[in-house]
Amino acid sequence: MKHQIKSLEQYHSDYKLSIENPEIFWADIAETFVWKKKWDNVLDWNFEKPDIKWFINGKLNITENCLDRHLEIRGDKPAIIWEPNSSDEPNRIITYKELHEAVCRFSNVLQNNGIVKGDRVCLYMPMVPELTIAVLACARVGAIHSVVFAGFSAQSLSDRINDSDCKILITADGLFRGNKTVNLKEICDEALKTTPSIEKVIVYKRTADTIDMKMGRDVWWHSEMNKAATKFDAIEMDSEDELFILYTSGSTGKPKGVVHTCAGYMVYTYYTFLNVFQYEEDDIFWCTADVGWVTGHSYIIYGPLLNGATTVMFEGIPTYPDAGRFWATIDKLQVSKFYTAPTAIRSLMASGLDFVKPYKLDSLKVLGSVGEPINEEAWFWYHDNIGKERCPIVDTWWQTETGGILISPIAYVTPTKPTFATLPLPGVQPILVNQQGEEIVENGVEGLLCMKFPWPSIIRTTYGDHERCRQAYFSTFKNLYFTGDGCRRDEDGYYRIIGRVDDVMNVSGHRLGTAEVENAINEHPNIIESAVVGYPHDIKGQGIYAFVICDKQVNDISLFTKEVNEVISKIISPIAKPDRIQIVSGLPKTRSGKIMRRILRKIAEGDFSNLGDTSTLLDPTVVDEIIRNRK
């Protein structure tokens, strides 16, 4: 396949070209696609403003490249294989032809319900094919999709809808997750009390739970689809028109809406999917993420479909009906490339090999890891027991803001090294800097990971607040994109991501800001103040440790914990529940009132030896008290 790197020599020569002549390099890849009008210039960029444009004045619609482009040669090829929550329910297989028709129909539904180019549409959906259909239909009509993970609370949903003034909400009556059902429509109804911009709600029927349908506002997916025509000419989009918004947590304030645009995102997700996983035409590709996260956007939907691949969508969870579900499904669907998160690997590892042994796993060719650092034990377990020492592991480092994978082995090309994301992909120019922003050029060092040149799917802005984007990513170091990650580069020039250096936690691969969790905890009526830090957790990677100051004495600690969890679940999501809560009488603060999280992180870790300088604290005795009472 053209553009596919087949040897280490080719990697080095393609990399060299991509650095010396990025415009020629990326233009050649962009030629793969159907354009309504070709671009004038490939790239124009400025990291100070920031202002980044790729494929300037190009006109296209990404769905023509995901769907229409494939119809002639792969019309009857499965585009989506859907694996339901219950292994007793049959699979659904949707061919490219069928997906194309469904997307066209739903594009008409959106238009019939008042959507025009540039409108924002919020999706709060189970992992069913209709979620992918809705995402693509938004792109086809030129609406900007904002998918909200269906594990977020009503308040989180409402905040996200309001931040970008979404006009339509697409949801379902409910969802199945393991042996639970969740009534999604009820959560939506709660959120909709405070979302004035929403004019219509389109409801897909999944669980047949009883729900309220509000006349004039709520309509059923199936009845709208039945009325809709099956043809829809894709709307012409500019390369830099917004494709989607995806909310993600930062070190301060509320989650921000990361914005990606049409052409650059298309070119980059296509290219990285093709190379990292060494995509082949007969692959069955399974990324276990939820479409609610960027991994799902880029490597369940766009990357695979742009390549004409067969992509698996899984509705359930790794431990239902038992901890062998992933492995059973790999055998059942003959999955060849499998992409999951270290937290899932660690939890399945803990369940024991009896859940792996019954399965052959001989269809597998490549294993992927994403979302957090993979520890050595999990790497070897995955490599030996799932990949049978035969499948390369691609440890892919990237972020919501990067749109696609930046640092990763290329399967069968890059020699892997456990726990290392290895080398930058072509077009990616990482540098390590010290706290002063000076470049560290040698190998065998640690530093702050930055990028000195744009790649096509770099974040363009944060929705409605460009200054926040500049502040968060482009102001820490002049003329650099700052990732927020600490990183080691070894003697071979291989990169190993250490983790966040800011106040962002990574809990089971979910990104959460400490401030965001503290704000939620502080809503508990008995909590005056709190400080939250991440600490090493065997399964989750990081756990959440909350230090709280209470107004009145707490007598029933288990009741108190339950209440705190309820508050968090209501305001954010159950994924943000603290793993440990410690009631304290004070927090270690500097004289200027700043909480010294460094100290709390050490205490949470259980490492009391190196607390560093505590002499600048307003009251150093609180530290002793916290240590004494830590259980």
Q: Strand, coil or helix: what is 340?
A: strand
Strand order in the sheet with 242-248: 218-220, 200-204, 168-172, 120-123, 144-147, 242-248, 256-261, 461-462
From 6-14, 39-47, 395-403, 521-529, span contacting ligand WT7 (CB under 6 A):
395-403
Burial of residue 143 (CB within 10 Å: 0-12, 13-18, 19+) is buried
Q: How many residues bind ligand WT7 (CB under 6 A)?
A: 22
Burial of residue 244 (CB within 10 Å: 0-12, 13-18, 19+) is buried
CB of 68 vs ligand WT7, minimal distance in Å: 28
Prior bond to 620 cis, omega within 30? no
- Nearest alpha-carbon partner for 328 in 339, 340, 318: 318
DSSP one-letter code for 572: T
Q: Which residues contact 551 (CB under 8 A, 6 or more apart)?
A: 525, 526, 527, 528
Q: Does the protein bind ligand WT7 through residue 171 (CB under 6 A)?
A: no
Binder among 84, 142, 484, 543 for ligand WT7 (CB under 6 A): 484
- Nearest alpha-carbon partner for 54 in 452, 402, 457, 429: 457
CB of 404 vs ligand WT7, minimal distance in Å: 9
> Smaller CB distance to ligand WT7: residue 295 or 307?
295
CB of 199 vs ligand WT7, minimal distance in Å: 31
Q: Does the protein bind ligand WT7 through residue 497 (CB under 6 A)?
A: yes
Q: HEC states along 389-457?
A: CCCCEEEEECCHHHCCCCECCCCCCCCCCCCCCECECCCCCEEEECCCCCEECCCCEEEEEEECCCCCC
From 39-47, 125-133, 326-334, 495-503, span contacting ligand WT7 (CB under 6 A):
495-503
Q: Does the protein bind ligand WT7 through residue 204 (CB under 6 A)?
A: no
Question: What's the half-sphere exposure (Cβ side, CA atoms, 13 Å) at 335?
Answer: 33
Q: Does the protein bind ligand WT7 through residue 43 (CB under 6 A)?
A: no
- Nearest alpha-carbon partner for 99 in 311, 242, 241: 311
Site string for ligand WT7, 331-370 (x = CB under 6 A): ---------------------------------------x
Q: Does the protein bind ligand WT7 through residue 502 (CB under 6 A)?
A: no
Q: Which of positions 45-64 make contact with ligand WT7 (CB under 6 A)?
A: none
Burial of residue 553 (CB within 10 Å: 0-12, 13-18, 19+) is exposed
> Smaller CB distance to ligand WT7: residue 219 or 370?
370
CB of 511 vs ligand WT7, minimal distance in Å: 4
- Residue type, position 151, single letter: G
Q: Which two tokens stand for residue 103?
A: 């997307």
Helices vs strands, H then E, count in the chain: 20, 31
How far, in Å, CA of 178 to CA of 315, rounded? 9
Binder among 119, 372, 502, 518 for ligand WT7 (CB under 6 A): 372
> Smaller CB distance to ligand WT7: residue 32 or 375?
375
Identify the H or E element spanning 96.
Answer: helix 96-112
Q: Does the protein bind ligand WT7 through residue 473 (CB under 6 A)?
A: no
Binder among 245, 294, 333, 386 for ligand WT7 (CB under 6 A): 294
From 275-283, 378-386, 396-404, 459-467, span contacting ligand WT7 (CB under 6 A):
396-404
CB of 105 vs ligand WT7, minimal distance in Å: 31
> Smaller CB distance to ligand WT7: residue 195 or 399?
399
Q: Does the protein bind ligand WT7 through residue 248 (CB under 6 A)?
A: yes
CB of 232 vs ligand WT7, minimal distance in Å: 31
- Nearest alpha-carbon partner for 140 in 67, 223, 222: 67
From 72-80, 180-188, 323-331, 492-500, span contacting ligand WT7 (CB under 6 A):
492-500
> Smaller CB distance to ligand WT7: residue 338 or 397?
397
- Residue type, position 439, single letter: E
CB of 419 vs ligand WT7, minimal distance in Å: 8
CB of 55 vs ligand WT7, minimal distance in Å: 23
CB 588 within 8 A of CB 595: yes
CB of 276 vs ligand WT7, minimal distance in Å: 11
Q: Does the protein bind ligand WT7 through residue 269 (CB under 6 A)?
A: no
Q: How far is CA 237 from the centre of its chain?
A: 25
Binder among 174, 373, 427, 534 for ligand WT7 (CB under 6 A): 373
Q: Does the protein bind ligand WT7 through residue 506 (CB under 6 A)?
A: yes
* Contact set with ligand WT7 (CB under 6 A): 248, 294-295, 370-373, 395-400, 421, 483-485, 497, 499-500, 506, 511
